[in-house]
Amino acid sequence: MTEEYGNAATAAEGFDAGAHPPGRGAAAHWRTAAEEVADVLAGAGVRRCYTVPGESFLELADAVDRHADLALVSTRHENGAGFMAEAEAKLTGVPAVAAATRGPGAANLAVGVHTARQDSTPMVVFLGQVTSDHLGREAFQEVDLTAFYSPVTKWTTTVTRADRLAETTAQALRVATTGRPGPVAVAVPGDLFGRLVPPARALPGAAPPRPPLSDDDRDRLAEWLATAERPVIVAGGGARNARGELVAAAERYNAGVYTSWRRQDVFPNDHPLYLGHLGLGCPKPVLRALEDADAVLVVGSRLSEITSQSYRLPASAGPGPGSPVAQIDIDPAQVGAVTGVWLGAVADARSALGSLAALPVATPDRDYSEAHHVWERTATAPAEAATHPGGLMHPWAVVEAMRKALPDDAVITNDAGNFAAFLHRGWTYRHPRTQLAPTSGAMGYAVPAAVAAKLVAPHRTVVAAVGDGGLLMTGQELETAVRLGLAITVVVFQNGLYGTIAMHQAREMGRTAGTDISGPLDLAGYARGLGALGATAANPVELADALDAALAAELPTLVDVRTDPDVISPEATMSGLLGGA
């Protein structure tokens, strides 16, 4: 009887994976801990797990693969898996899952997890660990995963009981989506996933709380915005689900709107109240309206180093009534964390902006047309870009060709690198959820992110913009796209440089070191070797033809664009920087 139904000890520990399953009564419904985890994930709306399969989570991979509502996506590197999970969650708002094994796999995955942390992206990570009886002996590939991952996650834990794994998974989902979203890591000894456990009881978790703006705060903010002379709004990723309310509030109070670093799609860029993107190298004229503002409402933005222009803006006279800054954020830790505010409200951006927009206040008479035109002028390619000499393309001309060829609602994923400055300025984000870009500045993001975006939205045009440095970090995920039948387009700005560092070296040291990389490489041939299509372009005509062909293709296509390494940023050339230094 005790073998058939289990006694107190076996119920607590779970049956071994190889044991005969219980045969009668309620115990007949016992399943593996991995199967219970898969059910919890699917019930929460998770749809994919990205991974390089590892021996320490065999049963989890199997359970996900066999679950009707889940898909197991096998990638070519854990770095790619992490970026894919982050990109899916950023695009949908629903956590995706990444899984990796022990020390090497966990180390490779960490870059994507750090990206999710800095980008406030909900994500659940399963880290296979050595078996329970080997823990603490520095067994094969053993690392203290809780200590390793704690600095780059909202919460990291190691599970020690199979019958608690479903509960911990539900808790991980709750933590990842509550308050400021972020990644959560669950380390699991390799012998736990396959153990038989009883059905999970009531699990933790609920819909994440969405606190409203209090009536008092709403009324005070409304009067402040209505009576200010030059109010502006800085909107970040926390306003991604509040686009309609953001537009309505901006129009109600006739306030100009800036988008935070790499959050350009939270507000329509062609709207007359749009004032620009607070990114790296933001043109000084674009910043003028923010510098001159007498009221700055920060909504859903953590005021990172880049958004705040090295913690300089928005300028504050200190906390209290003298400050021209107010902040609305769902995370109390972010309110007033970087600059003094006269009013800080912990509230859901959508609810708060909706309540502000609904007030029957008279729309103030203000004119932001000149400030909008200032941004438009910085977003326009110089005339000489189209006829750039030397048989290489000007980066501005690449963006112009993309603008002409791609639909307005294309999902653009972009990598880190100086090439992205041209994209940030030149691409107009008119539609929501069309930008996937890491605020962490992680190289190698674009191609994996494009794979995830196409899985989530198979009928959308998805284009990855990447430099040659970033491409060769995760470009092997083109094979993943081929295997899954995902017709993404990858546009490579190939200039043979680690361009951002080369620019800093030239400006600050008058010379470069270690930033020249081999080129030109046959990157189109590299793509064909992975089963994708490949094309090379060195002028606007070739690029236009290549983009048209890519959009019509049924396979992923890499377009290798040869760009001039001297044109290092929208404001500078390498020769000018080196000469000036």
382, 569 Cβ separation under 8 angstroms: no
Write down the pLDDT at residue 581.
Answer: 62
Residue 385 has pLDDT above 70, yes or no: yes
Q: Percentage of residues in the chain with pLDDT exceeding 70?
A: 95
* Interacting residues of 446 by C-beta distance below 8 A, sequence separation 6+: 413, 414, 415, 464, 465, 466, 470, 490
Examine the pLDDT at 293 and tell me if it is beyond 70: yes
Give the HSE-up count for residue 135: Cα atoms under 13 Å, Cβ half-sphere: 18
| Residue 202, pLDDT score | 80
- pLDDT of 348 above 80: yes
Q: Return mean pLDDT, the chain.
A: 93
Which pairing describes strands 48-51 and 96-101: parallel, antiparallel, or unpaired? parallel
Residue 243 has pLDDT above 70, yes or no: yes
Mean pLDDT of 534-550: 97
Query: For the whole model, what pTM was predicted?
Result: 0.93
Helix boundaries (H) for 349-437: 349-358, 369-378, 395-405, 419-426
Least confident of 20-24, 283-287, 415-419, 486-490: 20-24
Residue 102 neighbours by CB under 8 Å, 6+ apart:
54, 56, 127, 128, 129, 130, 140, 141, 142, 143
Question: In 3-state terms, what secondary structure has residue 397?
Answer: helix
Q: Quickly state the pLDDT bin for 27 (edges 50, 70, 90).
A: low
Quote the radius of gyration of the chain (alpha carbons, Å): 25
Alpha-carbon distances of 314 from 18, 123, 293, rounded to whole Å? 61, 30, 9
Q: List, for residues 156-211, the tens digit of each pLDDT value.
A: 999 999 999 999 999 999 999 999 999 999 999 999 999 999 988 888 876 788 89
Long-range contacts, 518-525 (Cβ 8 Å, 24+) = 519/468, 519/494, 519/495, 520/494, 520/496, 520/562, 521/468, 521/494, 522/560, 523/468, 523/471, 523/492, 523/494, 523/558, 523/560, 524/558, 524/559, 524/560
Q: Which structure tokens are listed for 244?
A: 């309609």
Which of 60-64, 297-301, 312-316, 439-443 shows the lowest mean pLDDT across its residues? 312-316
- For the segment 450-470, the average pLDDT, to the nearest whole number, is 98
pLDDT at residue 20 above 50? no
Is the Cβ–Cβ distance between 175 and 26 less than 8 Å? no
> How far is it, in rounded angstroms, from Cα 68 to Cα 346?
39
* Distance, CA of 570 to chain centre: 25
Q: What stretches of 108-229 adopt beta strand conformation (E)?
A: 123-129, 155-158, 183-189, 196-197
- Strand 343-346 and strand 256-259: the pairing is unpaired
pLDDT tens for each residue of 261-289: 999 999 999 999 999 999 999 999 999 99
pLDDT of 320 over the 80 cut: no
The reported pLDDT for the residue numbered 247 is 98
- Asked if 411 and 458 count as a contact pair (C-beta separation under 8 A), the reply is no
Is the distance from CB of 128 to CB of 112 less than 8 angstroms?
no
CA distance 456 to 199: 31
> Is beta strand 196-197 parallel, antiparallel or unpaired with respect to 31-32?
antiparallel
